[in-house]
Structure 1
Amino acid sequence: MNQENLNFRKGSEKDIPEIWKILQQSIERRKNDGSKQWQDGYPNISTVESDIEKGYNYILTLDDKIIATAALIFNDEPTYDVIDGAWMTHEDFLVVHRVGVSNEVAGKGFATKFFQIFEDFAKKNEVFSIKVDTNFDNLAMLKILEKLGYSYCGEIQVRDGARKAFEKILR
């Protein structure tokens, strides 16, 4: 697939059905991988609608077809206030949540590319830290974070238990 036809943009109301379809595919992939992450009714369609409404949702398109989705939030993640460990920085940061990739492109490097785009997006907004968390058994995400040089900072607590927390400094 030709990555020259990639476009990163904010999601809109008209994108909700496709975003939700991609997240459902990602939920099913987590289940098939044996992960417990996203197996409790979250995220759901209301989550997607809320992300769009708040301006958090961003998508990646290939030839104008949505292939990936994520919530990108600046400086606002209350669950990150308490960490069993330590964040590397205490400056402005970009939080990455709810990353989903369509089955059509899963395993082809687009999630990694999406994260590289997040890094550029943060820097363009003069933010030089990205924070992200994932379940202990989400091996696909753990592999991406390791490959891209994210540092393990400790554990945070979310609605259904502990998550591994990571940070990458972009300077």
Structure 2
Amino acid sequence: MRQAQNSDLAAIDTIIENARFYLKQQEINQWQLGYPNQETILRDLEKKYGYVLIVDNQVAGYVAIIMGEDPVYTKIESGQWLNQSADYVAIHRFALSHLYRGQKLAQRFMTAILTYFFDKDVIDFRIDTHPENMPMQAVIKGNGFVKRGIVYIDEGDTKQVRWAYQLFLN
């Protein structure tokens, strides 16, 4: 895993588009309204939020990591965070290349993210996903996250329900 670079943009775009198509095939209404798009990824790269998973010198996965308070997680319903600290890592736009599907790389990628930031003294991690996205929920729960409630994200012109998870390593 390494920080994403502008030269990774085409590969990241392909990964996001293939993930969007996969979700549509699974009849999951996530990422179907134009988010995330190339503008989102360019903003991630500019702000140094983007990270890529490299396999055999190829970009095999993408994730955006936001350190510190994330507006998506400010308001939570039907539950609560374990703490009110703004000192956490938010994990967004987690996607793997369709070329590596079925190889358990999602679990390994998530473990790499957690290890990388734990080594930087981060102990609070938050992530969300669509209520019907069972594969992502398996990755999230398989890495020790616990469902904490519901958050809403802007996707297109609407607010979309997402299940929110937290992993607190103390």
TM-score (norm 2): 0.93
User: In the alignment, residue 37 of structure 2 is paired with which amino acid?
Assistant: N
CA drift of 1:88 comes to: 1.3
> Where do 5+ consecutive residues of structure 2 fail to align?
none
Give CA-to-partner distance per residue, 1:89-141, whole Å, 9 cap, x none. Answer: 33321110001100111121111101101111221221101100011111110
**Aligned counterparts of 1:86 and 1:47: Cα–Cα separation in 2:** 28
Q: What residue in structure 2 maps to residue 124 of structure 1?
A: 119
TM-score (norm 1): 0.92
**Aligned counterparts of 1:169 and 1:115: Cα–Cα separation in 2:** 15
CA drift of 1:143 comes to: 1.2
Q: Secondary structure at the match of 2:144?
A: coil
Question: Where do residues 79-98 of structure 1 align in structure 2 (5 Å cutoff)?
Answer: 79-84=72-77, 85-91=79-85, 92-98=87-93
Higher mean Cα deviation, 14-23 or 142-151? 142-151
Q: What residue in structure 2 maps to residue 26 of structure 1?
A: 19
Q: What residue in structure 2 maps to residue 163 of structure 1?
A: 162
**Aligned counterparts of 2:61 and 2:28: Cα–Cα separation in 1:** 20
Question: Where do residues 1-171 of structure 1 align in structure 2 (5 Å cutoff)?
Answer: 8-84=1-77, 85-91=79-85, 92-159=87-154, 160-171=159-170
User: In the alignment, residue 162 of structure 2 is paired with which amino acid?
Assistant: R
Higher mean Cα deviation, 73-82 or 48-57? 73-82
User: In the alignment, residue 42 of structure 2 is paired with which amino acid?
Assistant: E
**Aligned counterparts of 2:8 and 2:160: Cα–Cα separation in 1:** 31
Runs of 4+ off more than 6 Å: none
**Aligned counterparts of 1:53 and 1:16: Cα–Cα separation in 2:** 12
**Aligned counterparts of 2:160 and 2:15: Cα–Cα separation in 1:** 24
**Aligned counterparts of 2:51 and 2:110: Cα–Cα separation in 1:** 12
Q: Secondary structure at the match of 1:143?
A: helix
Instruction: State, as a whole percentage, how many aligned pairs show the same letter.
Output: 27
